Amino acid sequence: MNVNQLVDSAYDFFNSKKYSESLEVLSQLDEVLQSETMADKEKDAIRVSLLNLKGFNFLGLNALEKATEMYAGALEINPNSSQACAGLGEVFHMQYKEDEAKTMFEWAIKNNPGNLFAVSGLAKVNRDLGLAESHNNLVLN
């Protein structure tokens, strides 16, 4: 299988909530990616996406420490990764760290205003904090 087929397979498993199977395919992808010849920038973009997908699989398995590792790895490669920020926001929310969750969801939205996962995550955390759903400390009025 090539990279695209493996990615499709991993997403299919993820969407079917078969998180362990998705992670298994993603580990194969790591090996295939190393043998691919492409620009470093392109490989980094793929690595960030794969780390984020691994993180969301670990979230699905409630393995919060592993999920955090994946998102931190993605942010090391791309500090502006909206998905990694949103993933960390969800980890913090699951740990009842609402202030930290709010901050991460806000950064996710700043990095990509179209990230619906982050928008709904911020709304959820804001409700928990007794704030308006759209309250965002990073948006200057």
> 121 and 101 in one domain?
yes
Place of tokens 């929310």: 93
Per-residue pLDDT tens for 5-19?
889 999 999 999 999
> 63 and 92 in one domain?
no
> 84 and 70 in one domain?
no
Q: Identify the DSSP state of 131.
A: S
Domain that holds residue 133: 80-141
What CATH number corresponds to the domain at position 25?
1.25.40.10
What's the pTM value of the predicted model, to 2 decimals? 0.91
Residues in Cβ contact with 1 at an 8 Å cutoff, skipping those fewer than 6 apart = 9, 28, 32
Per-residue pLDDT tens for 44-83?
999 999 999 999 999 999 999 999 999 999 999 999 999 9
> 110 and 53 in one domain?
no
Domain end, chosen from 56, 79, 102, is at 79
Q: Is the pLDDT of residue 1 over 80?
A: no
> 89 and 21 in one domain?
no
Give the count of beta carbons closer than 10 Å to the beta carbon of residue 87. 31
Q: Is 19 helix (H, G, I), strand (E, B) or coil?
A: helix
> 116 and 54 in one domain?
no
